[in-house]
Amino acid sequence: MAGSGSSEIVHSTAAQYAPWILLLPMLAFPIILYLGKALNGNKMWKDTLKEGGLIALGFMGASLVLSLWLVVDFIGAYGGTEMLSDWTWFTSSMWADGDNAVSTVSFGFGIHIDHITVMLLFIASFLCLLINTFAIGYMNTDPINDNRNHRFYAEFVLFCSGMLGMVLADSFLWLFIFWELMGLCSYLLIGFYYERPSAAYAAKKAFLTTRVGDVFLMVGLAILWDLFGSLDYAVVFDSHNIEAVANNSAGTLAWALGLMFIGAVGKSAQFPLHVWLPDAMEGPTPVSALIHAATMVNAGLYLVARMFPFFGHEAMHGELADLAFIIAAIGGTTAVMAAAIAFVQHDLKKVLAYSTMSQLAYIFTGLGAALYLANTLHWHKYLPDGTTNPEYYVNHGIVIVAFGAALFHLFNHAMAKGMLFMASGAVIHEVHHAHHHLHHHDDDHGHSDPEELVMLAKYLNDNDQTVYEFFKSIDLDGSGDIDMFEFQKALTASQIANLPPWEMTALVKAVDLNGDGRLNLPELDLALGRIISDLDHGHHDEFDAQSMENMGGLASKMPITATAMLVGSLSIMGFPLIGGFWSKEGIIANTWRVALEDPRFFYPALCVLLGAGMTGFYMSRMWLKTFAGSPKGEVAAHVHPTNTWIKIPLFTLTFFSLGGVILASMGFTHWAPDIEYGLMSDHGGFIGGFLYEMEHVFANSKPFFFILTYIAIFIGAIVGPGIALSLYGGALDEGETVKPWFTPVLALNAAVKGRYHWDNSALAGSGFATALSNRLYFDHYYDMAMLKIVAAFSNKAAEADASVIDGTVKTIERTSQDISTKLRALTTGSARDYILMAAVGTLALVGLIWGVVA
Amino acid sequence: MQQTMEPFGEGFITTFAPEFVLVIGLFTLMIAPNLGDGKFRLPLSQIRVPYLFGGRRGKLDSDPRLPGLFASFFFITAFGMALLSFVDGMNTTTVQVVDADNNVTNLLKVDEFSRTFELIFYGALALASVASINRLPATSRNDRTNAGLYNNRRQVDFYILLITCGLGMSIVALAQDLFLLFIGLELASFSTYVLVSFMKETKEGTEAGMKYFIVGSVASGVGLYGLSLLYTWAGSLQFEALTNAFITSGMEPLPLVALSMLLVGFGFKVSAAPFHFAAPDAYAGATGPVAGVLATASKAMGVLGLLRILIIVAAPEATDGAAVWLVALGVLAAVTMTWGNLAALGSTNPKRMLAYSSVAHAGYMLAAITAIGALNWEPAHMTESNNAALAIVTALVFHLVVLVCFKLGAFLVLSLLESEQGGHTLASLGGLAKREPMLAVTMFIFMLSLAGVPPLSGFMSKFLVIMGIVKAALIGSTVDGTIVFSELHWVWWLAFLMVINSAISVFYYLRVGLVMFFHEPEEGRRTSLPPGRSVRVAIVVCLVATVFFGVGANGLIALCESAANALLNVW
């Protein structure tokens, strides 16, 4: 897409089937929802179909097969030319104006496929399938989800179809529609445990915060529509159209793109709209893995990447450099800020959440740098005046590699972060199980108490009433035992529930031990007393299965998970030769390249360099606290390996993260943004590509970049992890055996910690650390602003709404109903009256026709 | 390809295959249930010659479902044959009589327009007939007593009436002569009068049929009088002759009075206010499928008549810009749509509600026809006007086609409720979502489509109609590419009123959803509904069509465009 705009467009068979990639999950949504309702609790549904998990898996699998077919077709048969397929809702020549009867108006949905689409399509469909597999192992074994997993799977597939649709759409309008569909599903999934106030709050927060960005996006799109008269990629990316717009209203276009970028900031959780992402960890872990790491947050990046043709067009030369700087600066700020907050998190998933924010910020910085280069360099074959560009080859390479590095990092991060989240889910899952196993194996009845009884117990607890007093107050006839009717009255009086008779029977049965159909004091005391004592002693305990303070030494107990986590962490850190390294180095190098041109860019450039070290620290800290050292507490010592459904995706993704070097050697960074570049073509195949990449990264011929690379490696892979090694972890307990590849890591850890360990309590207790653990008070100030300004305004608006708008609507409604009654009263039911009315009508018609003519 | 032929000339039967299928069906239905082992004894001998008529009926032909199956088969075959005539292009065929003096009298004309309308008629009747198979109270097939036979005969009567109704409608679609058109109209109308009162055991049924008949015959009488005035004036009822007469002397009092009287006759058929009064009673008294036919096929027949008379006969271009009937029809449209919607707001009987909504839809269609009357036929705007007329007629035909899907579908859902004595109050729909979730969702989709929610076909039809009207109003109102508001033709306000009315209508359509999904079922209605397999099949067909014609409207729009072209080509 970055090449000339006149590339040939192909209609291939694979593209014809492309709409099914998103339609299949969309179809699965009602199917799973309906079957889940119909078969809820059914044994076959639960065990064989995994409450819809396998149905979802089937549909996602089919979707992935179609995606892969499309990808292969795209790379192989069509050598990377853009493909299109459209499905027209309706076309009509009837509205064509004037003499031009052949022109048609058409409405519909189209598929647009280019390099970026293909890359994200693969990420989305592949990860969705793996996370679906993971979810079967995670969700279906958690007793808290009893019989409601079909809701999870239904919302999950709908979400996937939103992501796939957004990637495939051929216009900004459809992109926006699917974008909002994802927003909705994200809300539903974060609030999956809606009975927890924190989850409900997090869901609302995520929805509203991203909505702030969406409003700007919508305005941006409206401006764009005003400029181009369409939101179809085919129109807005058309070279001549951009030229026309650039000549007349380049500034307006910059504003439109800027506003759209704010939408991306919200979706990808960047400063200052980042506050929702950590809270979103309230959702089940597969949701965190899917939405907040692998797919949805990429939507914002995708949107910015889609803007590339505007930046890269010669006609816009230099006009958008400021916007590119803003993108990079926001990215740089977020990268450092999120990494700093990640230092002090104890919650495993929260560390990953901040890490996600920080890594996305890297990509934004990389995109900002690439967009800046594209906007300020003459990198097209021909200069605006039509002469051949002498610097074409060099500049073209610079722009392409910068853009490619950002896209490649997107790919690497999605793979690694999806895996990290799933691995963390596996850890949490097993820690939780171990805890449950240790403390709860004898009293599992806590879950079987009828809800009304729990509410009644709470009611008594809150009102300081003893069971005896309560019993006396409801035993109306003083007979010493109460019957169902009295009990029902009492429940109604205390505003707990007004149950129908059949449910009352069930409730009484749960308490009635001697089976006489009536309740006496001992029975009630026994049932309520147990619940009350559970409430008093915090039976629903405060043990936090997500806290790293309760882990440690898990490397020997969960080898596959630990390996996955290690590889994922190394990839995120940018450890040489592993996954993220190839892209992160590119981002850092290109940001510095821009900084040499434009001093403003020193800010993001320093940020990403510093961030590399910080990433090294917090990722190492996370791994060491979780997997190295001796187990902190009894629970961590009793953790078992996880189940197969969870292992499969971890295993798969470990190889994908390790295999970053393969993709890099194939020339991914060149291929992803450039239409003229084939995979494995320009540097002499795979080996040549490998050598080219190695040479560029490790032995760059330009001294500046040569030194920069080694500084980055030193900071990111030695200083950051080194500090973490000296502070956390340590050798495992005696007698624990580990896989051979952990031995050097743990030995190094033990050695460094033994030699250089230092006391960081002063730092940890400092005001800055407190501020960090309070997330730099962003939430606090946002809440205050909301309360002071928005809430006050809302109250006024609500008043106005009630009196003016509702009043008007109600008046209209009442008046219409009155008229309706009067009109229907004319329908007397007597044929004579009907004929009379017909006669009146006839006279009126004669009068009207004759009268008008005469 | 154009061709002409004599009645019963060469190729007559193949050309009119769908109609002949119905005629065969009519005779089959008359004969088949009477087949038995009746024997005739040769006089003065002991030889008994079996003549297979009367006597003891066989097991098969005393099955009360047989007539329904037969009728459905013939309707579906007729539908298929009508559809088949579109394949390989339509042969436009005119049936005409040439007398000794070489005077040509056109009788019938087969073209895309008439065939499309026949598709509407046959489709609606086929669905009604399929839906009625288990719906009419019938005794078991093993009961071969007189009562069973009697009941069997009643089944036959019902379907015979449906078929005559279909035949009458086809004649209306094909007729090239106003008198022939009127005969077809009456044939269909008389069948519907009896069909409405078919449930003679119930008081409502008889009363509704009676009222419908009385008001209907008054309207027909007025229309017929108008027809006779036209004949007096022009000396012929041929469309071509009438068109020419309107061109030369259309402004005389006689044709104008005749025209308004004809409007009354057809106004009743499309249930335009204030000729609609009998309609809610009739719909409420008839069984669901019959009410569905009244609201769709019968209405399409009325619109067809109006199009023939107003567009072809009283041709607007003949009368200097605005058609003579422009104001009258505009007022009629405005009153009809508003009246229908406001009356529907307060209805608690879902069938009456649908009847009023049907009145409102009639208003929308009248508004569309009005817009054609407002077209400007000066040479400068000729092309634009042609396009606009094409757009409007296409929208109208499209609307009539998709109306069969969701309006008939809604009536069929109600007919399923009727089988448990429900369907007459909104409350009987209560809790349908709990009793039969799929049925409730289906009904809700029909309601959404009626309300015009995208991407359902109801949206598309409303959208096309409104766009058509706006397009007509825009002609001649643009100066240098920008629209001058004050130059807009006033039919624009009809489109505006239509939008307002659509907004009002959403209220009562969604109320059905509210009742189905959030109200508790009535006492005694807690289990699922009686099975009625054939009704459900018909409902599913309606549902699929409702969604399909909304999502994949292109094919249907093309078909309707060809129909509109065929009608307007006469100009």
pLDDT in tens, B412-452: 999 888 877 777 888 888 888 888 888 999 999 999 999 98
Q: Are B278 and A827 in contact (CB under 8 A)?
A: no
Instruction: Return the higher-pLDDT residue of A51 and B368.
Output: B368
Instruction: Return the higher-pLDDT residue of A302 and A470.
Output: A302
Mean per-residue pLDDT, A744-758? 80
Instruction: Write down how long chain A is.
Output: 854
Range of B71-80, B86-95, B429-438 with top mean pLDDT: B71-80
Which residue of chain B has the CA closest to A87? B552
* Residue of B320, B342, B384, B469 to mutate for A, most A C-beta atoms under 10 A: B342
Mean per-residue pLDDT, A591-612? 88
- For the stretch A243-285, pLDDT in tens is 888 888 888 888 889 999 999 998 888 888 888 888 888 878 8
Q: What is the pLDDT of residue A79?
A: 54
Is the pLDDT at A186 greater than 60, yes or no? yes
Contact yes or no for A820 and B346 at CB 8 A: yes
Q: Is B104 helix (H, G, I), strand (E, B) or coil?
A: strand
Q: What is the pLDDT of residue A2?
A: 33
Is the pLDDT at A715 greater than 70, yes or no? yes
pTM of this structure = 0.68
Q: What percent of chain A has pLDDT over 90?
A: 4
Which residue of chain B has the CA closest to A109? B551
B22: left (phi over 0), alpha (psi -120 to 50) or beta: alpha
The H or E element that residue A110 is part of is strand A105-113
Is the pLDDT at B161 greater than 90, yes or no? yes
Could you give the CA distance from residue B404 to residue A568 in angstroms, rounded to a whole number?
60
Instruction: List, as one string, the DSSP characters of B181-229.
Output: HHHHHHHHHHHHHHHHT--TTSHHHHHHHHHHHHHHHHHHHHHHHHHHH
Q: Which residues from chain A sit within 8 angstroms of residue B259, using beta carbons?
A: 849
Mean per-residue pLDDT, B124-150? 68
Q: Which of residues 503-562 of B touch A (CB under 8 A)?
A: 504, 507, 551-554, 557, 561
Contact yes or no for B281 and A824 at CB 8 A: no
Could you give the CA distance from residue B82 to residue A535 in angstroms, rounded to a whole number?
75
Q: Are A372 and A451 in contact (CB under 8 A)?
A: no
Of B214, B339, B391, the CB nearest to A94: B391
Q: What is the pLDDT of residue A87?
A: 61
Between A51-65, A85-99, A392-406, the lowest mean confidence (pLDDT) is in A85-99
Of A94, A819, A823, the CB nearest to B561: A94
Q: Are A294 and A136 in contact (CB under 8 A)?
A: no
Q: Which residues from chain A sit within 8 angstroms of residue B398, using beta carbons?
A: none
Range of B237-241, B373-377, B525-529 with top mean pLDDT: B237-241
Contact yes or no for A838 and B280 at CB 8 A: no
Q: Which of residues 94-123 of B touch A (CB under 8 A)?
A: none
Q: What is the pLDDT of residue B212?
A: 92
- For the stretch B371-385, pLDDT in tens is 888 887 777 788 888
Range of A573-587, A622-636, B251-265 with top mean pLDDT: B251-265
Q: What is the pLDDT of residue B315?
A: 65
Mean pLDDT of chain A: 79
Mean per-residue pLDDT, A690-715? 80
Residue of A365, A272, A273, A376 lying closest to A327 (CA atoms):
A365
Mean per-residue pLDDT, A525-534? 71
Could you give the CA distance from residue A725 to residue A747 in angstroms, rounded to a whole number?
10
Q: Which residues from chain A sit within 8 angstroms of residue B464, using beta carbons?
A: 94
A621: left (phi over 0), alpha (psi -120 to 50) or beta: alpha
- Note whether B235 contacts A: Cβ–Cβ < 8 A: no
Could you give the CA distance from residue B325 to residue B373 in angstroms, rounded to a whole number?
8
Four-point Cα dihedral B56, B60, B61, B63, nearest 10: 110
Q: What is the pLDDT of residue B570?
A: 57
- Note whether B215 contacts A: Cβ–Cβ < 8 A: yes
Question: In this structure, how many other beta carbons lie within 10 angstroms of the beta carbon of residue B44?
Answer: 6
Residue of A664, A138, A724, A645 lying closest to A401 (CA atoms):
A664
Which residue of chain B has the CA closest to A102? B387
Of B219, B257, B391, the CB nearest to A838: B219
Q: What is the pLDDT of residue A100?
A: 40
Q: Is A84 helix (H, G, I), strand (E, B) or coil?
A: strand
- For the stretch A360-381, pLDDT in tens is 999 999 999 988 988 888 887 7
Instruction: Return the higher-pLDDT residue of A472 and B493.
Output: B493
Mean per-residue pLDDT, B299-318? 83
Could you tell me how many CB contacts below 8 A there are between chain A and chain B?
Answer: 130
- For the stretch B482-518, pLDDT in tens is 677 777 788 889 999 999 899 889 889 998 999 998 8
Q: What ipTM was estimated for this complex?
A: 0.85
Instruction: Return the higher-pLDDT residue of B248 and B402.
Output: B402
Could you give the CA distance from residue A836 to residue B275 in angstroms, rounded to a whole number?
10
Is the pLDDT at B545 greater than 90, yes or no? yes
Residue of A423, A707, A460 lying closest to A570 (CA atoms):
A423
Between A498-512, B14-28, B488-502, the lowest mean confidence (pLDDT) is in A498-512
Q: What are the helix (H) ranges across A537-601? A: 559-573, 580-597
Least Cα separation, residue A428 to chain B (angstroms): 39
Q: Which residues from chain A sit within 8 angstroms of residue B281, using beta carbons?
A: 827, 829
The H or E element that residue B39 is part of is strand B39-41
Q: What is the pLDDT of residue A78?
A: 56
Is the pLDDT at A48 greater than 80, yes or no? no
Strand partners, A84: A112
Band of pLDDT at residue A660, cut at 50, 70 and 90: confident
Q: What is the pLDDT of residue A102?
A: 41
Band of pLDDT at residue B175, cut at 50, 70 and 90: very high
- Note whether B335 contacts A: Cβ–Cβ < 8 A: no
Is the pLDDT at B305 greater than 90, yes or no? yes
Q: Are A693 and A663 in contact (CB under 8 A)?
A: no
Is the pLDDT at A494 greater than 80, yes or no? no
Range of A505-514, A769-778, B188-197, B199-208 with top mean pLDDT: B188-197
Could you give the CA distance from residue A812 to residue A817 in angstroms, rounded to a whole number?
9
Q: What is the pLDDT of residue A96?
A: 47
Determine how β-strand B2-5 pairs with β-strand B92-98: parallel
Q: Which of residues 444-463 of B touch A (CB under 8 A)?
A: 455, 460
List, in order, residues 6 or more apart from A543 with CB less than 8 Å away. Answer: A435, A439, A550, A635
Mean per-residue pLDDT, B335-344? 92
Residue of A242, A385, A396 lying closest to A309 (CA atoms):
A242
Q: Are B187 and B50 in contact (CB under 8 A)?
A: no
Least Cα separation, residue B384 to chain A (angstroms): 5
The helix, strand and coil proportions of chain B, stated in percent and rounded to the nearest 5, come to 70, 5, 25
Q: Which residues from chain A sit within 8 angstroms of residue B370, using beta carbons?
A: none
Contact yes or no for B554 and A88 at CB 8 A: yes
Mean per-residue pLDDT, B402-411? 93
Contact yes or no for B328 and A95 at CB 8 A: no
Q: What is the pLDDT of residue A802?
A: 80
Q: Which residues from chain B sit within 8 angstroms of residue A88, using beta carbons?
A: 554
Q: Are A623 and A727 in contact (CB under 8 A)?
A: no
Instruction: Write down how long chain B is.
Output: 571
Question: Is B17 buried (19+), middle (13-18) or exposed (0-12) by CB count in 10 A?
Answer: middle
- For the stretch A781-813, pLDDT in tens is 777 777 777 778 888 888 887 888 778 878 877
Q: What is the pLDDT of residue B295?
A: 93
Strand partners, B203: none
The pair of structure tokens assigned to A729 is: 């972890």
Q: What is the pLDDT of residue B503?
A: 87
Contact yes or no for A820 and B343 at CB 8 A: yes
Contact yes or no for A827 and B343 at CB 8 A: yes
Backbone angles phi, psi at A482, to 5 degrees: -115, 150
Is the pLDDT at B146 greater than 70, yes or no? no
Q: What angle do CA B95, B101, B106 make, to 5 degrees?
A: 20
Inter-CA distances, A651 with A64, A130, A646, A766, Å: 18, 10, 9, 41
Could you give the CA distance from residue A627 to residue A631 in angstroms, rounded to a whole number?
9
- For the stretch A609-631, pLDDT in tens is 888 888 888 888 888 888 877 77
- Note whether B274 contacts A: Cβ–Cβ < 8 A: yes
Of B327, B342, B383, the CB nearest to A819: B342
Mean per-residue pLDDT, B231-255? 86
Is the pLDDT at A852 greater than 90, yes or no? no
Mean pLDDT of chain B: 86
Q: Which residues from chain A sit within 8 angstroms of residue B215, using beta carbons?
A: 831, 834-835, 838
Which residue of chain B has the CA closest to A843? B260
Could you give the CA distance from residue A151 to residue A161 in angstroms, rounded to a whole number?
16
Strand partners, B5: B95
Q: Which residues from chain A sit within 8 angstroms of residue B394, using beta carbons?
A: 94
Is the pLDDT at B354 greater than 90, yes or no? yes
Q: Which residues from chain A sit within 8 angstroms of residue B553, using beta carbons?
A: 89-90
Between A480-484, A533-537, A801-805, B71-75, the lowest mean confidence (pLDDT) is in A533-537
Mean per-residue pLDDT, A90-105? 48
Q: Which residues from chain A sit within 8 angstroms of residue B216, using beta carbons?
A: none
Question: Is A287 buried (19+), middle (13-18) or exposed (0-12) by CB count in 10 A?
Answer: buried
Contact yes or no for A838 and B210 at CB 8 A: no
Contact yes or no for B263 and A845 at CB 8 A: yes
